[in-house]
Structures are given as C-alpha cells and as structure tokens.
Amino acid sequence: MNEPQRLDAVRRYDVLDTPPDGAFERVTAMAARLFDVPISIVSIVDSDRIWFKSHHGLDVDEIGRDPGLCASAILQDGPWLVTDAACDPRTLTNPLVAGEFGLRFYAGMPLTTHDGYNLGTLCVIDREPRRVSDAEVATLRDLASVVMDELELRLSARNTVTLQEQLRQQAEDVARTLQDSLLPAELPQVPGLDVQARYHVANRDRVGGDFYDVFPCDTGVAVVVGDACGKGAKAAALTGTARWCLRTVALGAWTPAQALHRLNEVIVRGHANAERYATLALAAVQPLTGGGADLTLALAGHPHPLVLRRDGTVDRIGITAPVAGWAPDIAYTDVTAQLASGDILVMFTDGTLDVISGRGSMDDTQLRALLTEAAGRTAAEVADALDDRLSRSRLSDDAAFLVIQPT
C-alpha cells in the first residue's frame, strides 16, 4: 500500500483527535461482549502513532506506531489474527506482548475506505491466548463495516456542509460581480459638469436590471440610464451588452438616437430568441465654454428625463420610442435642449418613480414637484434630496438616477 496516499486518506476522513462518539463506543462494547474479551479498540494509524477513536476496556488514547499491532494489521486486506502472541514469531518480541501489558490474543480487521485505503482497525484484545472461529471473523468483519459506514457518513456530512458553504460563497461572488458590472467603477471628472449618481437596491440577493453609465466622448460626456427587463444574471448580461455597445458606438461620430439604433440591432440580432429588452435614456452632454451645456437625448421605452430650471420650472424631455430589443430597425429620435448654467438634468429608472408616485406608476407629477422645491440647489443637493426620499421608502424595485448640472 502507498503510505503517503493512505495518510492522505486518514487526513481526508478528519477523524484524528476528535472527541469520543457514541456510535463507535457502542461498536467496541459490542465487539468485546461478542468475543468475550476485556479490550476492543477502533484505531486509526497515523504517521507516527496509533490513535484510538474508541478504546473499550483500556485507558489509553494512543500508542506509538512501532509496537502497535494495528500498524501490522493494516498492511493486509483481511483479518490479522494472533491467537497466542507469546508463541507467534510475528509478535513474541513485541513490547506489548513481552512486557507488562502481557498481550496474548489479537484479532484485527482493517477499516478499509471505499477507495481501498486501510485507515486503521477494529480489534479485540485479550491477555489470554484464544482461538477464533470463522463465524467470529465474519462478525468482526461486519462490525468493522459498521465502523467504516459511520466514518463515511461523517465524511459525507462534512463534505456536504463544506460544499454548501462553497456554493453560497460562489453565489455571493457572482451576485456581487454582476452588481458591479451594472455600474461604472467611478464617475469621470468632466470639466464644466457636475455629475452625481445614486443607486438603490431593493433586494441584495437578487440583482436587478437597473444600470447607469457615464463616460467621456469627443463632444463631452455620454450619460445613460437604463433598465434591462427582468432580474438576475440574464438582466445583468444584457446590461453589460448595452453598456459596452454604447461605449463602443460613442468612440466614433454618434448621436444618442444612432447609438440606440445600433444597440437595438445588436440585441435583436444577437438575442432574437432570448426575449431580451432594455429601456434606456441616452444623452450626449456638451459643456459650453461660457457655462451651460448642449444636450442631445434619445429614449428607448424609458421614462422621460426631467430638466429643472433655476426658476423651478421642470421640463420633460425626449420622444418616446420602443424598448431596445423590441423589433429590428426601430427609429429613435434625437431631441436637443440647452442647459443653462445651474440647470439640472435628472435621468432615472422607473423604480425611482415607483417610490415617489406609487408602485407601477409612470406619473412624474410628484417627482416634478419635488424637483421644483429643490430649484437653485447644486447637483449634489438635489441628488441627496432624491436619495433621502428613496432611503425612507421600502423599495419594491431597484432605483437608479443621475443628476447632471453644468457649472
């Protein structure tokens, strides 16, 4: 037998130095009774010692490996029998036999794992010589099987617990990774613009499809807020497609409507049979040297962004068009608007409206009123006011919003 591999098996069962256990105590008590001997042991043979999982009739926890008869017993597959140790050439010089202990009879049955490693033995020991019948050997074999079953059971229970823990850990990692993929790691610093973003999660265990992205482009900055229909990994995967598709399109000459058209084609052609849809609001914001900014915006099935003017007026901007993924060749429409210095553009997902106007509502009246109250404030102050409103409510859906203010 390959000793290093056998020791690996001993480690795998993780039984060494574990506390006493009723199941094993019962087996050794039963073995001693059936054989009518004073001592019965469940032993595990370690690299340098023989450790006793159960030791009926013997007040010793372990012995050195050298004198141990169990170390010899595990070297073979069947029973290891010594009927009179004092006359047996294999054992007569053994200190347990020749010494004070006076061992004369030993019958050991290896504890063999399902993959063939002998971990130790179930043995019965007497200080008198004895004969052993075939029936007794069969009994010892059955009892050794019971011991091995118990060890296997404990191993598989332990493995199950470990596996569950690993799966839970993996699921958490996946959820966190997906969540991270929905949002940019950090918002870019754009001269002339103050950009604030907030994200609220309704349920930590279930990744929603709300997302936003802000990235610089040749003409300023691209800003997108979206909702990939549905929840979980599929929604997150579609979010990734949307974010990177838009970022790619914005590397060249682009308008929001053109970019949404491209994205729609990507989703429809790539996911024609996968029922994937996303609502998006996409804006190109170009800060102007004298203050303020030019805004171009297109919508794909998304609630209209709002522009809060310094006088408290709130304009709804954008032209409704179908969700991305709805059908090939959808025409999206660019709308342009001017943002004066201090004006505020608010782009949000329907989860934000859910909180402010009630579940399932697309009515933005209350959000507009809330913004009017915030007239003249900074982007961060407006974002905090909205954030506060969201934090005080129990979310039924995720909510994301962006607040952009030209300086």
Partner 1 sequence: MTSAPNFGVQCRASDGTLHVRITGDLDLGAEPTLIEALSDYLSKHQMSRVVVDVTATTFIDSSGLRALLRCRDIASRAQAAPTLVLGGNDRVQSLLQIAGVTDWFDYA
Q: Using CB under 8 A, which of 49, 55, 304, 368 touches partner 1?
A: 304
Exposure letters 2-29 (e unless 16+ CB within 10 A, then b): eeeebeebbeebebeeeeeeebbeebbe
CB of 303 to partner 1, least distance (A): 6
CB of 195 to partner 1, least distance (A): 24
Q: Using CB under 8 A, which of 49, 198, 200, 302 touches partner 1?
A: 302
Name the one range near partner 1 by CB under 8 A: 18-26, 129-137, 150-158, 229-237.
229-237
270 binds partner 1 (CB under 8 A): no
Residue (323 or 386) nearer to partner 1, CB: 323
Q: Which residues sit opposite 214 in a β-bridge?
A: 223
Q: Using CB under 8 A, which of 173, 275, 373, 388 touches partner 1?
A: 275
Structure token pair of residue 62: 């372990």
Question: In terms of Cα–Cα distance, which of 3, 401, 394, 10 is closest to 203?
Answer: 394
Exposure letters 329-368 (e unless 16+ CB within 10 A, then b): ebebebbebebeebbbbbbbbbbbbbbbbeeeeeebeebb
Residues 239-268 binding partner 1 (CB under 8 A) are none
136 binds partner 1 (CB under 8 A): no
209 binds partner 1 (CB under 8 A): yes
Site track for partner 1 across 319-338, x = CB under 8 A: -xxxx-xxxx----------
CA–CA distances in Å: residue 277 to residues 144, 237, 264: 62, 11, 9
Residues 348-367 binding partner 1 (CB under 8 A) are 350, 354, 359-363
55 binds partner 1 (CB under 8 A): no
CB of 390 to partner 1, least distance (A): 16
CB 31 within 8 A of CB 40: yes
Query: What is the C-alpha separation between 172 and 390, in angstroms, rounded?
Result: 25
Query: What is the C-alpha separation between 181 and 240, in angstroms, rounded?
Result: 7
Question: What is the contact surface with partner 1 in residues (CB under 8 A)?
Answer: 209, 227-231, 273, 275, 277, 279, 300-304, 320-323, 325-328, 350, 354, 359-363, 396-397
